[in-house]
Each structure stands twice: as C-alpha cells, then as structure tokens.
Amino acid sequence: MMKLVRDKCPELKTEKPERLRGTAYRVALKQRLLATAENYQKAETDRKAVQELVDLVELVHALLPAHNMTFEELEMVRRRKKTEQGAFDQGQAIPNTSLDS
C-alpha cells in the first residue's frame, strides 16, 4: 500500500516514489485526509494538533483542483455557508444517529 507524502519528505531520498495521477492521486489524497484527521483526533499536545491541522489545510489545497476550485472560491463558499447556516463557534449539539450532515 502506498502512502502519499509531502513533496520534500526525507524518505523520498531513500525510497523510490511512485508518482500518482488522476483518480489514483485523488483517492490517495482522500485517504491521507482521513488518516490525518484521525491523527489530529489522537494528538496529545497542541503542537502536534496544530501540525495535523496544517496538513489538513495542505490536503484541502491539493484537493481543490480536482473540484475545479481555488482556495479563494472555497473561502467564498465557506463564508456564504457560515452566513446562511452559522459556524461551529458556539458548541451547540443535538442528538444524531449519523455524522453525514
């Protein structure tokens, strides 16, 4: 199984990387996004948590071209959704049987 790594990862000097493209690249980005979110959830220090958040943002940047979108456009959509539906700032929660929404 291949693990998607940052372009300047030290292991690239000793390992022979495979360059992913198209669907394989997008699938690998999604898998890395989920793994990184899990790492964030498990982070035991603020420093480690912030490093995982940085990786999540970088992965979002990498995924945007697959959706024909720039980060600026994503930010516009985020602001619009925040205006219409609010944010997660107040910590409100309701019973839910699914995390799909």
pLDDT tens, 24-61? 999 999 999 999 999 999 999 999 999 999 999 999 99
Which residue in the block uniquely carries the two structure tokens 């000793």? 14
Packing angle, helices 71-85 and 46-63, rounded to 10: 110
The 10 Å Cβ neighbour count of residue 39 is 15
Note the pTM of the prediction, 2 decimals.
Answer: 0.85
